[in-house]
Amino acid sequence: MADPIGTAGETGPTAGVSRLPAHTTMAIRPFMAQTPGAALISLKPEIEDLRHRLEGKEDRSVLELKALPAGCADRRRDNACAACGARPLSVCASMDDADLARLDALAEHLTLNVGDTLIRADDPARHVFNITSGSVRVYRLLSDGRRQITGFLFAGDFLGLATGETYAFSAEAIEPVTACRFRKSEYRALIRETPALETALLERATHELAAAQNQMLLLGRKTALERVATFLLEMPSHDPARPGPQGRVHLPMTRAEIADYLGLTIETVSRVLTRLKTQGLIRLVSLTEIRIERPEALRAVADGEA
Amino acid sequence: MADPIGTAGETGPTAGVSRLPAHTTMAIRPFMAQTPGAALISLKPEIEDLRHRLEGKEDRSVLELKALPAGCADRRRDNACAACGARPLSVCASMDDADLARLDALAEHLTLNVGDTLIRADDPARHVFNITSGSVRVYRLLSDGRRQITGFLFAGDFLGLATGETYAFSAEAIEPVTACRFRKSEYRALIRETPALETALLERATHELAAAQNQMLLLGRKTALERVATFLLEMPSHDPARPGPQGRVHLPMTRAEIADYLGLTIETVSRVLTRLKTQGLIRLVSLTEIRIERPEALRAVADGEA
DNA sequence: CGCACTGTTGAGCCTAATCAAGTTGTGTGG
DNA sequence: CCACACAACTTGATTAGGCTCAACAGTGCG
């Protein structure tokens, strides 16, 4: 296991810290596209360097206009390259340039490889993190090694907001990750000075709570078949950087990680995937790529209507 | 099932709406006592009318001083009568009298009987609720009737904060409940005008997220024995109105509700309780009252160290 | 090409669910 | 105060879904 980088002022050997241009610090992704209008608006793939899009004021306002669903004037959202998936940029309606500049001044930028640790449970909680690209697993362990992955985080997600002396969970990169982090003390000052950020975080937190309730329903009451079906249907909307073609699900995590997320074993996950394939609901394009052939049927299975 | 009262401006036949004296609107309870210093400070039992304690400024500052753990200058907390458990009062360091008066002016006060519905899933989400006394179950259903209770709420807890057109969960009283509610639109205005409230809610939400992660670990990876043990240990800290004598757990909910909270069946819950009793870890004082005889041993079981 | 790792498939087992009685507790009315 | 009805709870017997253990098959890398 790699050294953690969130425990002290220094970085572990596997993580790099660097400064990026202004206005690339925060990647605030929208909530899952529950309401139709709130879907993520991706930049056109042919635009290579996304940063250029935001340097002129006029471009940003265009993005905002496009990304703004009716009645969501105060909502934050981001934009990521659908092709490369890397380094999404924040487009934050209520945060002005001064806000963004302040954020950037306080942020450290991190680069992590697969398996690197962002946060280790029980370490002193000194930082707040924001993922800017890649995917992260968040989990808790029992003393005998049983693991429950409580969530996968993607570009735009926050980590370590909870108050408390130590982290109650661990977080590791499952893909190459870029992130930025703030010292807790500076984060608190930031919150005080940037009400728009606090509003955004509260809205985010309440949505995550709703998602957590969904996951509790899954873990407490759904069968293995229903769990996997639910997972496949909800996975794409969790990863705004890779919306991908309709019905195509990219799984950056291993079977073991899926199992630990769904409260199952790898064998059961594998069997259920095979069963869904045999029934013609999905197709296993590759190990990390699944195609949903009959979304309605899969939805019926996921909701226990089979 | 009773009529829901959160769906329209009117109240159902089983719920009463009344106005209470100023400054009794919000009951903001502290987070679970994870850090030693953050424990709830109860008023001395001999004080009958708690409201008197808060009418003089000097009394309030005394309460604040007593309730304030080191390094938590901005934290909200409440105080409830340990004897009667009813109507806790808010003591909110960063909210002044004007804030509280504004809250009161906007709140409707509700009274609910056992089984009454506060919130019904899929109804339009028009209100935000705050429990001022009693206990509430929050749950989700699958179409075939399987139920997962995602949490029990007590005095001081908030409900319905998530944005969204409709509620994603149901909430019902499991004891006589008093609550107050705000229209969503007025709640949003309130948030804008009362930054202290937003800060309190964000802190609350992040703590609830941490608790939700704990529950996911329980539902996904713990055995029936571990689940029940964990539940018994965490129950008292969830109900600040009734800290009760040390090692005494009051269970206002039925076995069916415990089962639906722990992802088990009533039979399994019953069997496990019997087993814990046989092993001498707990004693069943009555159906709703359990005494923990060997807390350390129970903790070991809960953490999977048995 | 070989090795290590991840994933798939099979056989048997075990925990908790299901089905089925009983028992205790509670509230109501006589 | 007791008799009764009903709900909540407990206990027992049986079943089944998913886990464990085990073997094998892809996949990727040096």
What Rg do the C-alpha atoms of chain B give, in angstroms?
19
pLDDT at A33 over 60: no
Same-domain pairing of A226 and A130:
no
Burial class from Cβ neighbours inside 10 Å (0-12, 13-18, 19+) for residue B227 reads buried
Report the amino acid identity of residue A171: A
Per-residue model confidence (pLDDT) at position A181: 92
Per-residue model confidence (pLDDT) at position A42: 22
- B113: CB within 7 A of chain C nucleic strand: no
Per-residue model confidence (pLDDT) at position B261: 98
Same-domain pairing of B48 and B135:
yes
Per-residue model confidence (pLDDT) at position B30: 58
Buried b (16+ CB within 10 A) or exposed e, A236-273: bebbbbbbeeeeebbbbbebebbbbbbbbeeebbeebb
Same-domain pairing of B229 and B297:
yes
Domain termination site, one of A135, A170, A203: A203
Q: Decide if A176 is inside a domain.
A: yes
CATH number at residue B89: 2.60.120.10
Domain termination site, one of A203, A233, A249: A203
Per-residue model confidence (pLDDT) at position A5: 44
Å: A115 CA to C3 C1': 22
Same-domain pairing of A49 and A190:
yes
Same-domain pairing of A236 and A135:
no
pLDDT at B196 over 80: yes
- For residue A163, the distance in angstroms to the closest alpha carbon of chain B comes to 7
Å: A190 CA to D27 C1': 47
Q: Decide if A211 is inside a domain.
A: no
pLDDT at B66 over 50: no
Please tell me which residue, A279 or A92, carries the higher pLDDT value: A279
Q: Which band of pLDDT confidence, cut at 50, 70 and 90, is reported for residue B61?
A: very low
Report yes or no: A180 and A170 within 8 Å, Cβ to Cβ. no
* Residue A239 belongs to domain spanning: 222-302
Tens of pLDDT, residue by residue over B23-49, are: 456 666 655 433 322 222 222 222 222
Same-domain pairing of A180 and A33:
yes
User: Count of alpha carbons within 13 Å of B177, Cβ hemisphere only?
Assistant: 33
pLDDT at A222 over 60: yes
Same-domain pairing of A160 and A258:
no
Same-domain pairing of A21 and A164:
yes
B60: left (phi over 0), alpha (psi -120 to 50) or beta: alpha
When divided into structural domains, chain B yields a total of 2
Q: Decide if A208 is inside a domain.
A: no
Report yes or no: B27 and B130 within 8 Å, Cβ to Cβ. yes
Q: Cα torsion for A235, A240, A246, A248, to the nearest 10°? A: -50
Per-residue model confidence (pLDDT) at position A55: 31
Percent of chain A with pLDDT over 70: 64
Please tell me which residue, B288 or B75, carries the higher pLDDT value: B288
Per-residue model confidence (pLDDT) at position B238: 66
**Nearest of A139, A127, A133, A89 to residue A111 by alpha carbon:** A133
Domain termination site, one of A142, A169, A203: A203
Same-domain pairing of A73 and A181:
yes
CA B199-B201-B204 angle, 5° bins: 110
A297-300 contacts, C-beta under 8 A, 24 or more apart: A298/A229, A298/A232, A298/A233, A299/A229, A299/A233
Report yes or no: B126 and B6 within 8 Å, Cβ to Cβ. yes
CB count within 10 Å of CB A147 equals: 19
Per-residue model confidence (pLDDT) at position B287: 92
Pairing of strands B158-159, B127-133: antiparallel
Residue with tokens 């909430």, as numbered in its chain: B171
Q: What is the DSSP string of chain A?
A: -PPBSSSSSS--TT-EEE---TT-S---PPPP--SGGG---PBPTT---THHHHHSHHHHHHHHHHH--TT-TT-EEEE-BTTT----EEEETT--HHHHHHHHHHPEEEEE-TT-EEE-TTSB--EEEEEEES-EEEEEE-TTS-EEEEEEE-TT-EE--S-SSB-SSEEEESS-EEEEEEEHHHHHHHHHH-HHHHHHHHHHHHHHHHHHHHHHHHHHH--HHHHHHHHHHHHHHH-TT---STTEEE--S-HHHHHHHHTS-HHHHHHHHHHHHHTTSEEEEETTEEEES-HHHHHHHHTT--
Report yes or no: B104 and B23 within 8 Å, Cβ to Cβ. yes
Query: What does the alpha-carbon distance between residue A248 and residue A258 come to, in Å, rounded to a whole number?
Result: 17
**Nearest of A167, A261, A164, A170 to residue A211 by alpha carbon:** A261
Q: Taking a contact as any Cβ pair under 8 Å apart, which residues of chain B between 209 and 228 contact chain A?
A: 209-210, 212-217, 219-222
User: Count of alpha carbons within 13 Å of A237, Cβ hemisphere only?
Assistant: 15
**Nearest of B204, B168, B170 to residue B26 by alpha carbon:** B204
Q: Decide if A94 is inside a domain.
A: yes
A163 to chain B, any CB pair closer than 8 A? The answer is yes
Q: Angle, nearest 10°, between helix axes B224-238 and B195-221?
A: 160
Structure tokens at A233: 């249907």
Chain A contacts of B199, Cβ < 8 Å? 191, 198
Q: Which band of pLDDT confidence, cut at 50, 70 and 90, is reported for residue B239?
A: low
Same-domain pairing of B191 and B226:
no
Q: Decide if B24 is inside a domain.
A: yes
pLDDT at B252 over 80: yes
Flag if A219 and B216 touch (Cβ within 8 Å).
Answer: yes
Query: What does the alpha-carbon distance between residue A274 and residue A283 come to, in Å, rounded to a whole number?
Result: 9
Q: Decide if A7 is inside a domain.
A: no
Flag if B304 and A203 touch (Cβ within 8 Å).
Answer: no
Listed as ranges, the nucleotides of chain D within 7 A of a protein C-beta are 8-13, 17-22, 27-28
Same-domain pairing of B36 and B162:
yes
pLDDT at A193 over 70: yes
**Nearest of B60, B67, B120 to residue B95 by alpha carbon:** B60
CB count within 10 Å of CB B213 equals: 21
CATH number at residue B283: 1.10.10.10
User: Count of alpha carbons within 13 Å of B156, Cβ hemisphere only?
Assistant: 26
Same-domain pairing of A238 and A110:
no
Per-residue model confidence (pLDDT) at position A197: 85
What Rg do the C-alpha atoms of chain A give, in angstroms?
19
Flag if A216 and B217 touch (Cβ within 8 Å).
Answer: no
Q: Decide if A210 is inside a domain.
A: no
Q: In a mutagenesis test of the A interface, which of B32, B217, B265, B301 is the best target, namely the one with the most A β-carbons within 10 Å?
A: B217
Q: Decide if A148 is inside a domain.
A: yes
Report yes or no: B17 and B11 within 8 Å, Cβ to Cβ. yes
Listed as ranges, the nucleotides of chain C within 7 A of a protein C-beta are 6-11, 15-20, 25-26
